[in-house]
């Protein structure tokens, strides 16, 4: 499902993937893929292992041929242009550096191949190495680097050639959390400064949210939703997207009554009201974001026994188990909450409008 028209950027598509399909040995892994990216946009592909993220990048780069569909870049069909003539740079999950060359030589390699004047090479290389914090390692052979350091060299090597499109397949997976966050911030500002268009593959929803203008959530070779991080979080279009983007409480229920645009849903833990008008008797999955649940009664209220209160620094997470059933409800409150005891009964309340509802998959 594509995002609604209102969320499409107002710019003409720079990259336009139209109706792309791909099968490997008779097994379809992608069909009718449509995917449009505006110039200068930073987009993430987010999805579970095997959903087709790398395949889509490889098709865009020209390294894998699509069985159907077209790829347009800046209005020009590039479907039949060979990979080496697309000037699309890719950093792969398993990046291939030249082990016998130094860090600086690896980064300079693409510039030499493009016959960039000698005098321009050194400053470009040093700028790229600075970005990835590898300046001190310029003269080391890459074979003598850690995995994370090699990953940073791989990023420097593709940035330096000013590609028309940058594709990054989990470029920071080998970095520790702190360095990863630093690299995300710096890469984002560098791409912005150069108005570079980039597609960034990740498993990590926080990384996707931090880096991108828009996120395409993929599932089994399809895009389930393509929207801004805030829209994805607030209005996930499916239970899959809701689960993939942030934590939530999940309950099962059945629509009992519909009054105008509010449904009454029977759950094992009690009646829940939610926006929408699905047919009476429809089996549904209900979701509520933890920070939208408060302690105390609300438009919807469920009494729970506190199973845990976890202080996570800036917030406290309350895990409750409903009385009537074994539904687990998650409530996040700002700050450090003390005096919350396991086994204590509390009410969790939330608004009708904050209740997400999806037809249950059968
Ligand atoms: N060369 C190939 N031959 C056969 N099947 C392939 C090939 N490449 C990918 N596949 C299959 O296509 C599907 C999509 O794979 P892909 O590598 O695109 O997933 P991914 O989303 O990048 O996963 P991960 O997050 O694990 O990297 C998988 O089922 C995979 O097994
Ligand atoms: Mg992959």
CATH number for 138: 3.40.50.300
The answer to whether residue 2 sits within a structural domain is no
What is the Å distance from ligand 1's center to 38 Cα?
26
Strands 68-73 and 214-219: what pairing?
A: unpaired
Task: Please tell me whether residues 100 and 188 are part of one structural domain.
Answer: yes
Contact assessment for residue 303 and residue 291, using Cβ atoms and an 8 Å cutoff: no
Nearest CA to ligand 1 atom 29: 50
Show the domain range for 297.
248-359
Task: Please tell me whether residues 216 and 271 are part of one structural domain.
Answer: no
Task: Please tell me whether residues 65 and 208 are part of one structural domain.
Answer: yes
Task: Please tell me whether residues 106 and 42 are part of one structural domain.
Answer: yes
Task: Please tell me whether residues 87 and 223 are part of one structural domain.
Answer: yes
Residue at which a domain ends, from 219, 242, 265: 242
Does ligand 1 have an atom closer than 6 angstroms to the CB of 319? Answer: no
Residue pLDDT tens, the chain, 362 long? 444 444 443 357 999 999 999 999 999 999 999 999 999 999 999 999 999 999 999 999 999 999 999 999 999 999 999 998 999 999 886 667 888 899 999 999 989 988 999 999 999 999 999 988 899 999 999 988 887 788 889 889 988 988 999 999 988 887 788 888 888 888 888 889 889 999 999 888 888 998 999 999 999 999 999 999 999 999 999 999 999 888 889 999 999 999 999 999 999 999 999 999 999 999 999 999 999 999 999 999 999 999 999 998 899 999 999 988 888 999 999 988 887 888 999 999 999 999 999 999 86
Domain count, the chain: 2
Taking the C-alpha atoms of residue 349 and residue 269, their distance in angstroms, rounded to an integer, is 13
- Which is nearest to 177 in space by CA: 142, 204, 213? 204
What is the Å distance from ligand 1's center to 29 Cα?
8
The answer to whether residue 5 sits within a structural domain is no
Does ligand 1 have an atom closer than 6 angstroms to the CB of 22? Answer: no
pTM: 0.86
What is the Å distance from ligand 2's center to 321 Cα?
37
Does ligand 1 have an atom closer than 6 angstroms to the CB of 98? Answer: no
The answer to whether residue 327 sits within a structural domain is yes
Task: Please tell me whether residues 325 and 233 are part of one structural domain.
Answer: no
Identify the helix (H) or strand (E) that includes residue 168. strand 165-169
- Which is nearest to 171 in space by CA: 113, 211, 138, 209? 211
The answer to whether residue 7 sits within a structural domain is no
Task: Please tell me whether residues 231 and 255 are part of one structural domain.
Answer: no
């Amino acid at each position: 499902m594509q995002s609604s028209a209102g969320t499409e950027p107002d710019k003409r598509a720079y990259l336009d993937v139209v109706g792309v399909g791909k099968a490997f040995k008779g097994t379809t892994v992608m069909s009718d893929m449509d995917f449009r990216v505006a110039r200068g946009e930073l987009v993430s592909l987010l999805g579970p292992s095997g959903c087709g993220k790398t395949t889509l990048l490889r098709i865009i780069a020209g390294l894998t041929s699509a069985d159907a569909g077209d790829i347009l870049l800046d209005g020009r069909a590039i479907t039949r242009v060979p990979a080496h003539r697309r000037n699309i740079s890719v950093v792969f999950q398993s990046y291939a550096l030249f082990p016998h060359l130094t860090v600086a030589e690896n980064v300079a390699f693409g510039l030499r191949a493009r016959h960039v004047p000698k005098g321009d090479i050194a400053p470009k290389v040093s700028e790229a190495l600075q970005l990835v914090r590898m300046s001190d390692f310029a003269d080391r052979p890459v074979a003598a680097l850690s995995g994370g350091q090699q990953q940073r060299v791989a990023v420097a090597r593709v940035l330096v050639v000013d590609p028309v499109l940058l594709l990054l397949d989990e470029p920071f997976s080998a970095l520790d959390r702190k360095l990863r966050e630093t690299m995300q911030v710096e890469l984002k500002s560098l791409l912005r400064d150069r108005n570079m268009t980039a597609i960034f593959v990740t498993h990590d929803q926080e990384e996707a949210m931090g880096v991108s203008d828009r996120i395409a959530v993929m599932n089994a070779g399809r895009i389930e939703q393509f929207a801004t991080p805030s829209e994805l979080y607030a209005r996930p279009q499916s239970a899959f997207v809701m689960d993939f983007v942030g934590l939530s409480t999940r309950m099962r229920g059945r629509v009992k009554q519909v009054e105008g645009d509010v449904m009454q849903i029977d759950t094992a833990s009690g009646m829940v009201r939610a926006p929408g008008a699905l047919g009476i008797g429809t089996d549904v999955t209900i979701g509520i974001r933890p920070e939208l649940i408060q302690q105390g009664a609300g438009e919807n209220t469920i009494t729970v026994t506190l199973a845990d209160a976890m202080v996570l620094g800036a917030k406290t997470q309350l895990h409750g188990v409903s009385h009537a059933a074994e539904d687990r409800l998650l409530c996040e409150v700002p700050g450090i909450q003390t005096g919350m005891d396991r086994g204590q009964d509390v009410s969790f309340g939330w608004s009708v409008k904050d209740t997400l509802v999806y037809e249950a998959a059968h």
